[in-house]
Amino acid sequence: MSNRKKVWFEATEGKLDPGLVEQLRNSRKVNPSVSSNTEIPIIVYLKKTCDQDKKDDLLKACNFDSHNKLSKELHSINGVKGHLTPDTIKQIKDHEAVDRIFYDRIVTSFLDIASEQIGAVKVREQLNLTGKGVTIAVIDTGIHLHEDLTTPTNRIIAFHDFINGKTEPYDDNGHGTHCAGDAAGNGNLSNGKYTGPALEASIIGLKVLDEQGSGRLSTIIEGLEWCMDHKEEHNIRIISLSLGAPAYESFRDDPLSLAAQKAWHQGIVVCTAAGNSGPAAATISTPAINPFIITVGSADDLNTLDRTDDLIADYSSRGPTIDSLIKPDIYAPGTNIISLLAPGSAIESQLPEMIIDDNYIQLSGTSMATPICAGIIALMLEANPNLSPNDIKSILQTSSHPTLDDIWGYLEAVSAVEMAKNYQLQMPTEAVES
């Protein structure tokens, strides 16, 4: 048995999350004295009993030089984000305001036949539903003013840039634009060939990932909080999250999972990608590990309308989650999906062979399946605006087509929308006083 004495960050009784411990270990390898000026991005959970005086004392202890800064509040998780050196983390870990400290990990971004194959075209033709009046917030790399979103009317009703602070919509990576089209492209530049399910839904673009498609947990949380704060103003009913990070903590502790759960409980349907780490088991990412929100896996429709030959995509992450929960909750087409191209974006230069007809690009991943599912949900909410997030999830799973070799099935738009349209909210019977 080793007699090695544990260093301070290995003996904190859970005060530091495993990702932060690993970062501190790496820092120590570079500088054994652990006194370097290495800045580590962190999220501090505050204790529920923390009053303003204790919080102010914590901020004073952290904000004393350019290498230590703790300031931006994350109200949805009762936390604060910033960057601290290892020495400062050691000093404040037992502060009476601090509950736990997390490493602010990196998060990465993970339609021709698809819309017809899942029944979205039939919904438009038979039920005359297009997602009109429903707003989908796409939290991703930004959004390009593509004509399939702006003609005949501009359906991009808001944009917020958490990366570079720009005010006009743009997408220097291209992933977010593709996802917006997966949900709500109207096929204007393809004579209606490449359309998303909800071709009249309103779209909000929130840029939380940079040109390379990466960002921090805290920035995604800020995007979720923006949606909660502006829910009524923009009638935000759906959030589409085609991004994720490895899950090291229970959904009860993981910061991104908790923020997504908060949005769900505030009445916003949250759809998130399962991840692209399949076919290995137990590869569901965060925030997809959360049991409340809708985790979307990817199917391969083999570019045919026949559903009997469809398969779970090899790359689609599998459950169980880190908490041994069953995930994904639903599957949607995600392989070889043709959607909107953002000119001049990183994806355009990296994948020139995937460009279709100059204005579109073909991509695969649970990133594509997620906004397609969000588009179907927009149709459901147009049919019945009174549905709660729990109603939506229940209907999607109940109406799914059991063609895939998994506990949950394959999204089926016509059945889902018909069920949504006829869904009766069961109101609790009030007790009668005697």
Q: pLDDT by residue (tens digit) across 195-229? A: 999 999 999 999 999 999 999 999 999 999 999 99
Write the burial class of residue 60 (CB in 10 Å: 0-12 exposed, 13-18 middle, 19+ buried).
Answer: exposed
The residue from 144, 146, 175, 178 that is catalytic is 175
| Confidence (pLDDT) at 288 | 98
- Could you tell me the sign of the dihedral formed by the alpha carbons of 315, 105, 287, 200, in that order? negative
Determine contact, residues 84/62, Cβ cutoff 8 Å.
yes
Dihedral over alpha carbons 137, 340, 279, 293 (to 10 degrees): 10
Determine contact, residues 274/286, Cβ cutoff 8 Å.
no
SS (HEC) of 235-277: CEEEEEECEEECCCCCCCCCHHHHHHHHHHHCCCEEEEECCCC
Domain 107-422, second-level architecture: 3-Layer(aba) Sandwich (3.40)
Q: pLDDT by residue (tens digit) across 299-345? A: 887 666 666 667 888 899 999 999 999 999 999 999 999 999 999 99
Residue 268: closest CA among 154, 137, 368, 417? 137
Write the burial class of residue 328 (CB in 10 Å: 0-12 exposed, 13-18 middle, 19+ buried).
Answer: buried
Spatial separation of the C-alpha atoms in residues 29 and 81, rounded to whole Å: 25
| Confidence (pLDDT) at 426 | 44
Question: How does 234-253 read in b/e, with b if 16+ C-beta sit within 10 Å?
Answer: eebbbbbbbbbbbbbbebee
Determine contact, residues 247/289, Cβ cutoff 8 Å.
yes
Domain 13-104 has CATH 3.30.70: yes
Active site residue 115: no
List the alpha helices (DSSP H) in 75-174.
86-92, 112-117, 120-127, 147-150
Rounded to the nearest 5°, which phi and psi values hold at 104? -80, 85
Could you tell me which residues come within 8 angstroms of residue 50 by beta carbon, excluding any fewer than 6 positions away? 96, 97, 99
The residue from 17, 104, 140, 148 that is catalytic is 140
Q: pLDDT by residue (tens digit) across 394-411? A: 999 999 887 666 677 889
DSSP 311-345: EE-TTS-----TTS----SEEEE-SSEEEE--TT-
| Confidence (pLDDT) at 120 | 81
The residue ranges of every structural domain in the chain are 13-104, 107-422
Whether residue 434 has pLDDT greater than 50: no
Spatial separation of the C-alpha atoms in residues 182 and 138, rounded to whole Å: 11
Confidence of residue 64 (pLDDT cuts 50, 70, 90): confident
Determine contact, residues 366/241, Cβ cutoff 8 Å.
no
Spatial separation of the C-alpha atoms in residues 149 and 153, rounded to whole Å: 8
| Confidence (pLDDT) at 123 | 87
Angle at which helices 366-383 and 175-184 cross, to 10°: 40
Q: pLDDT by residue (tens digit) across 9-36? A: 887 778 999 889 888 888 777 665 545 6
The residue from 240, 339, 367, 400 that is catalytic is 367
Whether residue 430 has pLDDT greater than 70: no
Active site residue 367: yes
Active site residue 175: yes
- The secondary element (H helix, E strand) that includes residue 379 is helix 366-383
Q: Across residues 288-293, what is the average pLDDT?
A: 98
DSSP 70-102: EEEEEGGGTEEEEEE-HHHHHHHTT-TTEEEEE
What Å distances lie between residue 211 and 208, 246, 389, CA to CA? Answer: 10, 21, 32
